Structure 1
Amino acid sequence: MRSRASSRRSSIQGSIENLDLSELEFDEPVENDAHAGGGLTDISHHKQRVINVSNAPPVSIKRKLSGSWEIQQGSGGLVACVDPVMSVDKENMWLANIGMNLQGAARRISEDHASPSTNSLGLPLLRQANAGEIFHVLEMSLLSVLHDYNKSNYQLNPVIVNQEDYNTYYGGISNGLLWPVLHNLPEYIVKDYDDEQVLREHWCAYVRVNYQFGINAVRNSRPQDFIWIHDYHLMLTGQMMRSLDSNLEVGFFLHIPFQPPDNWMTKYRIVAEPIMRALLRFTKVGFQTHRDRQKYVELVKKHISRARIQYESTVDIFTVTHENFTCSLGVFPVSIKNEDFLNIVKNPATTKLATEIRKKLLSAGSDKGCIFFSVERFDYTKGIADKLKAWKRYFEKYPERIGLDLLYQVAVTNRRSVESYRVYQDNCLKIVDDVNAAFICKKFPTWKPIKFNMDGLPRAKLVAHYLAMDVGVVTPIKDGMNLVAKEMLICNPAAALILSSGAGTEVQLGNAGFYAQDKQCYYRVEDVTDTEVCVVNQCSSEFCV
């Protein structure tokens, strides 16, 4: 439903100087609006739907050489945990920005692909790449493809935002500030945000984009619907939406950790305070682990003095009441759909492919070697640089393993336009070259200690690699959950798993008694190195670094 905001709305869209979102006020909805049917309308005969709202869509949209569009189902943690819920009912709706997922037919990510010129924030992030396509997303050929997609799936609706605002919201506040902050990796916060004026200007863009997502969700909702907001890009939407209609049921799930550094509420106050308060306007907020929820509760107690907090031990839920709104805080670790992976494992073609993969990977060295396998996004939170250094240290300490073992690292390149990512990725590639040059085996001259792949693997081939590996290596510095670790365990329970305490999965498996709680659990180079040789020597069947 379309609504008319009061003069306060302009403070969101323009000069949001005081950034106090709690003061937003809105007029009553327009009666007899031609677009009636949104969250502000009383339509009691409709059944409840799920309206899913995320920055990125669950699909990849590509333009063929012919000019026509092609939609393919996406992958990743968000799609894995949400798609089963959304697929239950074709009336469910997914709202997302589609522009960032548009790919030209000839565009390919490669190591030597030149990135657009940027400052340390990576801005203008996509101006020289594909952000311009955001405003062409509604051309008739793509609309037709979306229409066909919606016939056989839940409803996928695009959220269109101002290009410049989107660049700043995504490449600036979201990935230049919130991502490193919430992972407690302050060294990756872009230096530009030491300037309060820059921080304030970029924060205003983040607010405006959140408003566009929020108003789209309200317009498409009905009173019975559950609106499900995802991740750090959209942390303000609940407050905006419930300012429009306080009866809306709006949930929020944070897929990444919530572990901000100690100076979060002081140095970045103009961002931190509104986010802390805005989260309390959601009906429900979900975290991946108890440690993430506990950190948020501690900050609420310390910085929002009027909030009333209660804990219900029988259901393990915190209830927080603030400014006449009540929010429940829960822990809901995401997982995978086991049968999807097991069905691939049971396929004879997968077993055959796994045998071929193993033979090929070990062909340059001894067939008695071990395959260490790791797959993740090429992100500084994933601990890839430390893992590569540990692999170098492994051969320095245990030279008898030269010519035997190899690390196959799949690191899917992303966010090359952000300088911190570009520098990190280039540094990792240099480490790979150095390690491969440092260890030569005279007996097996074509053997190399590291095989590095930046292109990713389709699911069937990925599962085959899980079956081919001897050891899965999952060593993020910080990770909300990490579904790869679960996939490895489900697909190949006979393999060993090196899992760092930085992953939310480690907390879940530890609580389930998967390994002794008194073990040292780090992602550090020496610890990974020693655990690698322990795995090779088959000292235990379960490992946690």
Structure 2
Amino acid sequence: MQATEHAESDPKTERTAAHGTSDTDPDAQYDFMVVSNRLPVDRCSSDEPGCEGGWRRSPGGLVTALAPMMTKTDGAWVGWHGAPDEQIQPFSHGGIDLVPVQLSTQDIELFYEGFSNATLWPLYHDVIAPPEFHRTWWDSYRKVNRRFADAVVHHASHGATVWVQDYQLQLVPKMLREARPDLKIGFFNHIPFPPPEIFAQLPWRKAIIDGLLGADLVGFQRSSDAGNFMRSARRFLGASVKQQQVHVKGSDGQTTHIARAQAFPISIDVQQISELAQNPEIIERARQIRRDLGNPKTILLGVDRLDYTKGIRHRLKAYEELLSDGKVTVEDAALIQVASPSRERVEQYRLLREEVEGTVGHINGTYDTLQNTAVRYLHHNYPIDEMVALYLAADVMLVTALRDGMNLVAKEYVTARTNNDGALVLSEFAGAADQLKQALLMNPHDIDGLKDTIMRAVNMQPAEAARRMRSMRKQILDHDVDLWSSDFLNALKEKVIRDDS
């Protein structure tokens, strides 16, 4: 896959802007395009480490998975650049051509904070919080999805492969198919897909299913998510579903194409985490973290976005009861809770932050001593090297999600445990539970069960811990993020044998 030529020489070789960032041909066309809500870069100041030309590559699994491929294929990435009401031209950063989609302040309020994160997010996470249904939000969602699709149509060469990412852009596949039937279209849903009984609540359920069925391949984290999607296609559109294939019909009743739905569980950059975990400076930083906490016998760790789906409140309740029961003491144990800021303009998230911080204050006020703190609460984002130091410092990792598409933190923790020690307490409602079967699986709604599982992790014998960790590490090392992206794209290339009988 190579970018289509528009001049006698490749414009990429002639860019001369400083710091690795430059403008690109605004009409360039590409044979491979990734489309996501955000571009893989964040704004930064020139004095910050890793900042080139005012931009820095974003952290996160998707960027890690696709950036190397984008630099090799000379493809382009379509997405919002992060600043509302700002017009910027396509540019290149770190060897990737970037096509910004402009969003207004109103778009952010209605499309992103509204329909994406106050309608779809809670609905797709089993209605842990009540979704809101507003027609103005839906109108904005359609309008913004059209803007993303138009950007792809303008820049995609004939027969290009387009990979659309996540729940914010579920209408884009059909829009692309209608405008450019020559394209090969993939879609990956990074969050769960709800069962039809829950999805039925969405007033625009038919349009969402119809939008997704514009893709040749729709990928999900778990087989159960793919199954939910196919059942919804059958129930709400009357689609013909055979095995993992949905026969999509046009207005004339004839099959236009076959959309396949499969599970492609995402993973992490195993090499990066493994190398950091063996870095002497990071190993020493992990020791320093333990010293700063008074060298407790056991450090428990939670790392989450501050989101109501992550089960942070359930985790804190279980830990507080263990302290109250005397099963753990602040002299022997400490809980570090990293809660990254998230969607702070959305009311549900503001209320969650108040509740979590109030609970932490109550626990610490009740159980802290002058020398020891029960919960070290950190409402910050941290760089990956600091996260790996925390993984190395922690004896027990707590992943108590009420519903999670995958949860890459669980995989990062396991990968960092190069000595095959430590214990992972993992919610059965996280997608990672399908792969990490040697974790201590539990139901976070069962507080007594969660407490028992935490104590089992705290008291686990080294031989059992090593056996479990070795098995989990092998699974992740054999299924890294590169395999995820290559598996999806290879499946997208596969020819479908049409059977209309």
TM-score by length of 1: 0.74
Aligned twin of 1:220: 155
- Counterpart residue number, 1:507: 434
Deviations 1:489-537 (A, max 9, x none): 1111311001101110001223xxx369xx7544532222111111222
Shift of 1:381: 0.9
* Equivalent residue, structure 2, for 1:177: 119
Question: Which secondary structure does the structure 2 equivalent of 1:401 belong to?
Answer: coil
Distance, in Å, in 1 between the alignment partners of 2:328 and 2:170 is 51
Specify the alignment match of 2:409 in structure 1: 484
Q: Quick check: 1:309 aligned with 2:241?
A: yes
CA contact (8 A) 2:423 2:439 kept: no
Q: Distance between the aligned counterparts of 2:399 and 2:220, measured in 1?
A: 21
Deviations 1:460-509 (CA, angstroms, capped at 9, x unpaired): 11111111110111111111111111111111131100110111000122
Distance 2:322 2:198 in 1: 37
Distance 1:394 1:86 in 2: 48
Of 319, 343, 347 in structure 2, the residue corresponding to residue 415 of structure 1 is 343
Look up the match of 1:458. 383
Cα distance in 1 for residues equivalent to 2:247 and 2:68? 30
Among 352, 355, 370, which residue is 2:287 paired with?
355
Q: CA deviation at 1:82?
A: 2.5
Contact 1:281/1:326 (8 A) holds in 2: no
Specify the SS of the correspondent of 1:136: coil
Matches within 5 A, 1:229-244: 229-244=164-179
Structure 1 residue matching 2:159: 3-state secondary structure = coil
Q: Which residue of 2 aligns with 1:268?
A: 202
2:374 matches 1:449: yes
Tell me which amino acid in the other structure corresponds to 1:429: E
- In structure 1, the partner of 2:63 is 79
Match of 2:85 among 135, 141, 160: 135
- Seen in structure 2, the aligned counterparts of structure 1 residues 318 and 84 have a Cα distance that, compared at 3 Å, is farther
Gap change, CA 1:308 and 1:264, over 3 Å in 2: closer
Following superposition, the deviation at residue 203 of structure 1 comes to: 0.6
* Deviation, structure 1 residue 54: 0.6
Residue 261 of structure 1: how far off its partner (Å): 6.8
Q: CA RMSD in A?
A: 2.5
Aligned to 1:116: none
Q: Distance between the aligned counterparts of 2:455 and 2:28, measured in 1?
A: 62
Aligned partners of 1:61 and 1:69 also within 8 Å: no
SS state at 1:49 partner:
strand
Distance 1:261 1:411, change over 3 A: farther
One of 214, 218, 222 as aligned partner of 1:281: 214
Cα distance, 1:428 vs structure 2: 0.6
CA contact 2:187–2:217 (8 Å) conserved in 1: yes
Percent identical: 28
For residue 375 of structure 1, report the CA deviation from its aligned partner: 1.0
| Corresponding residue for residue 159 of structure 1 | 101
**Paired residues, what number?**
432
State how far apart, in whole Å, the 2-side matches of 1:526 and 1:320 are: 47
Q: 2:130 aligns with which of 184, 188, 195?
A: 188
Q: 2:423 aligns with which of 496, 500, 506?
A: 496
**Which letter does structure 2 place at the counterpart of 1:178?**
L
Matched, 1:62 2:44: yes
The answer on whether the counterparts of 2:401 and 2:444 sit within 8 Å (CA) in structure 1 is no
Cα displacement (A) at 1:385:
1.1
Q: Give the corresponding residue for 1:320.
A: 247
TM-superposed CA distance for 1:78, in Å, is 2.3
- 2:282 and 2:389 in contact (8 A); partners too: yes
Q: 1:84: how far off? A: 3.3
Shift of 1:297: 1.3
**CA 1:85–1:524 in structure 2 vs 1: closer, same or farther (change >3 Å)?**
farther
Aligned partner of residue 247 in structure 2, secondary structure: strand
8 Å CA contact 2:126–2:198 kept in 1: the answer is no
Q: Which amino acid in the other structure matches residue 188 of structure 2? A: F
Cα distance between partner residues in 2 of 1:330 and 1:78: 18
Q: Is the 8 A contact 1:92 1:155 kept in 2?
A: yes
Q: 2:32 aligns with which of 42, 50, 67?
A: 50
Q: CA separation in 1, counterparts of 2:327 and 2:240?
A: 60
Matches within 5 A, 1:344-383: 344-361=276-293, 363=294, 367-383=295-311
| 8 Å Cα contact 1:476-1:523 kept in structure 2 | no
Q: What is the CA-CA distance between 1:277 and the residue it aligns to?
A: 1.4
User: What is the distance in 2 between the residues matched to 1:253 and 1:227?
Assistant: 11
CA distance in 2, matches of 1:36, 1:69: 22
CA distance in 1 between partners of 2:269 and 2:76 (Å): 21
Q: Give the Å deviation of 1:455.
A: 1.1
Of 391-400 and 68-77, deviating more is 68-77
CA distance in 2 between partners of 1:340 and 1:65 (Å): 24
Cα deviation, 1:398-419, whole Å, max 9, x if unaligned, reads 3552321011011101111000
**Amino acid in the other structure paired with 2:271:** E
The residue type paired with residue 529 of structure 1 is K
Tell me the residue number matched to 1:404. 332
Bigger fraction of residues in strand: 2
**1:224 Cα deviation from its structure 2 partner:** 3.3
Match of 1:113 in 2: none
In the alignment, is the contact (CA less than 8 A) between 2:424 and 2:439 conserved in 1? no
Consecutive unaligned residues in structure 2, runs of 5 or more: 1-24, 251-255, 473-501
Distance 1:375 1:36 in 2: 42
Change (3 A) 1:263 1:489: closer
Q: Which moved more, 1:494-503 or 1:156-165?
A: 156-165
